[in-house]
């Protein structure tokens, strides 16, 4: 059994689609490594398995061991960058993605991770340039259009962001989080009826999207529709009380509801529970 596994995983590092399953196959890599502790591809598999399991520090050490053995292995640099990003070490993560791109400049996944890391560093214009690279390589990559929209909106370029979101939705019309973010951008543009329609699409796709329910509550609050605002806010709080109860208590958009018993009951429920 082990020899066939050895052959199977020798080329495993070539496919990130395989890497997504590594968490379930961790034991197999350990079998290979028991025979050959310095097997680069088995170590690579272990690193991605550890990242999937949330063991980020161990994953980083494993990827660094691969890099020592194979300094030009782009997937090891990428795995190191992903793991560093998970623990908030964005500058170091960016260095890793730069190294990955040095060896595989046409890897759209590395460009995607590069861009997302730049956004975490608030370097939105640079992030847009990275997402442009993804789109040049994979024009139908809806995540790149979505991430590009986030970067544009962060630069207050909301109309351009909306255009990017519409492109993303043509590619992936059943994405609740894209519809949700589209609602947020439309809200910033004060296009409230359209924002509500986007949030409604989000909850049709995913009824457990607390953010979309909260977005609708905010829109109805802007329209001074107290009943609809409270109804949607109730859904958001039921799904994620720790976040949205606190937000509702401090968000000035709901100030006009403070004398409403239903609104007070929503806020006080958390106090009683604690």
Instruction: Show pLDDT as tens, one digit a residue, over the chain (274 residues).
Output: 233 333 333 333 333 344 445 555 666 777 777 777 777 888 998 899 899 989 999 999 999 999 999 999 999 999 999 999 999 999 999 999 999 999 999 999 999 999 999 999 999 999 999 999 999 999 999 999 999 999 999 999 999 999 999 999 999 999 999 999 999 999 999 999 999 999 999 999 999 999 999 999 999 999 999 999 999 999 999 999 999 999 999 999 999 999 999 999 999 875 554 4
What's the pLDDT at 268?
Answer: 87
What's the pLDDT at 15?
Answer: 36
Residues 6+ apart with CB under 8 A from 40: 13, 66, 69, 70, 73, 76
What's the pLDDT at 145?
Answer: 98
Beta carbons of 187 and 215 less than 8 angstroms apart: yes
What's the pLDDT at 157?
Answer: 98
What's the pLDDT at 14?
Answer: 37
Closest CA to 147 of 102, 170, 123, 115: 115
Closest CA to 172 of 150, 199, 142, 193: 142
What's the pLDDT at 271?
Answer: 54
Helices (H), the chain: 2-10, 16-19, 26-35, 40-52, 56-69, 74-86, 90-103, 108-120, 124-137, 142-154, 158-171, 176-188, 192-205, 210-222, 226-239, 241-250, 261-273
């Amino acid at each position: 059994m082990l020899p066939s596994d050895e052959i199977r995983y020798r080329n495993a590092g070539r496919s990130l689609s395989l890497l997504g399953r590594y968490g379930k196959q961790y034991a197999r890599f350990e079998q290979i490594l028991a025979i050959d502790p310095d097997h680069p591809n088995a170590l690579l598999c272990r690193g991605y398995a550890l990242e999937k399991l949330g063991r980020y520090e161990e994953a980083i050490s494993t990827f660094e061991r691969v890099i020592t053995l194979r300094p030009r292995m782009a997937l090891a640099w990428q795995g190191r960058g992903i793991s560093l990003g998970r623990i908030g070490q964005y500058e170091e993560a960016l260095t890793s993605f730069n190294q990955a791109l040095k060896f595989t400049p046409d890897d759209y996944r590395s460009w995607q991770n590069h861009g997302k890391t730049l956004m975490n560093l608030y370097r939105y214009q640079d992030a847009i340039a990275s997402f442009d690279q993804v789109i040049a390589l994979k024009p139908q990559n809806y995540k790149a259009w979505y991430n590009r929209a986030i970067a544009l909106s962060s630069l207050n370029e909301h109309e351009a962001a909306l255009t990017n979101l519409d492109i993303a939705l043509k590619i992936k019309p059943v994405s609740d989080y894209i519809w949700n973010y589209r609602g947020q951008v439309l809200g910033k543009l004060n296009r409230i009826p359209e924002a509500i329609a986007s949030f409604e699409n989000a909850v049709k796709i995913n009824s457990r999207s607390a953010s979309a329910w909260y977005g609708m509550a905010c829109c109805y609050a802007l329209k001074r529709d107290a009943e609809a605002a409270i109804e949607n806010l109730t859904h958001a709080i039921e799904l994620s009380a720790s976040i949205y109860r606190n937000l509702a208590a401090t968000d000035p958009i709901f100030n006009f509801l403070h004398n409403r018993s239903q609104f007070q009951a929503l806020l006080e429920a958390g106090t009683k529970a604690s």
